[in-house]
Structure 1
Amino acid sequence: MTSLGIDIGSRTIKAVLLVDGEIREWEVVDATSQPAMTARSLLERYKSIPVVTTGYGRSLLEIEDIPSVTEIKACARGIRHCTQGARAVIDIGGQDLKVILLDADGRIAKFEMNDRCAAGTGKFLEIMAEKLGFELREFGDAAQKGAPGISISSVCTVFAESEVIGLLNKGIQRHDIALAVHQSVVGKLCGMYKRVCSQCSSVHLVGGGALNPCIKNLLESVLHIEVLVPTKPRITVALGAAVLAANGAD
């Protein structure tokens, strides 16, 4: 059985081609200013196979009779495909944060989602990294070189940006500010996690934010649990969509 899952995110579009339950191909491309066109170009490569879309822009292709599912459902199915016993998931996307609790059978038992502002998301980290003069890919490593002792009181992008500028003007080292930014993000994640998955001893971290080592290490330190990162954390949701496509979107 061959199927395709496409996760149309706010920052990137991810596609996974699944063949007999195994990932045969996968791709991550920039969403650009025309995400629907980018998604269609991916579809053109894989005609006449079952497809399911998900993500921030999944509605862009609904007019073409391509079934879509929520990111929550796709993420849950994707992580269980990777790890059968997975019970808790944190997904750090470009525009939202999700914490999901699964029951023993892999069904969604509870979840919480922050999608009303960019607070703590990949976009938030990107803006803070730029303000501090770091590339996003190096931001986590830079933060781990910082010394504790300062804090960012707001995770609202606008107010946090003002705080960062104020700290820089006071002569605070940018690595120290980077650590404070990460601590504010993890503080928000921990609050969500405790409301949803307080009894779990481990959590799977997915999405683009899973590539940030500082977030993983801070989560483990604050929550005192094991944080597991899949081999390809950015495509977990697209993988789940491909699994659902192979099963008739069920």
Structure 2
Amino acid sequence: MVSTKRSSAQRLRDSLEDDIINGRRKPGERLDPEELGRAFNVSRTPVREAFQHLVASGLVTVSPKKGTFVASVGLDRLIEMFEVMAELEGMCARLAARRITETELDALQVAHRRCEAAALAGDTDEYYYENERFHECIYAASHNTFLALEARQLKQRLKPYRRLQLQVRQRMRGSLAEHQTIVDAITRGDAAQAEQALCEHVLIQGERFSDFAASVHRLQAQVDSTG
């Protein structure tokens, strides 16, 4: 399987996301653009683009004339955002089940197979990016541009935490099985089942909530112990 090509800004962003959510960069820490440019051997433009994405994700904040700093996001706020994300994506799936074209359905099935290949390879990063394509196919198939835009914007803010979820043992396999249920419902034109399946796929509840909360608390404890 050929890996998804990623820009310098995307690779830098992914690295910074990992450092932040894994506690290697602490809340309040200033990010030096020149130092990052040297460390990653990139110009100022990719660094600036990476910062823009991190601001959109809520992982960093920009203080005029002071610089860019690592932000702190509480678990309660994250759960609220995932609740809204689940509802938005559920709506997309419901509309997609009613409106998807044959060409769009083919693209969704291809995206699902690419997720399957990444899962079989055990590549969580590759799975994440193929998973983005999968969800994007559903947004497009909803044929509601306003809804799709809102879903994309919130998904961008939750990106690092959705990646963190995939690091939980067996989560990638579970995610793939959930994808199959979603694809089957959309293929049948079962709008209610498609909406429910995608909502549950995104929503953090039950054992998934416990696993996610444990991961976030563990990372926070690591930050506090080194503070």
TM-score bucket (shorter structure): under 0.3
State the TM-score, normalized to the length of structure 1. 0.26
- TM-score, length basis structure 2: 0.27
More strand by share: 1
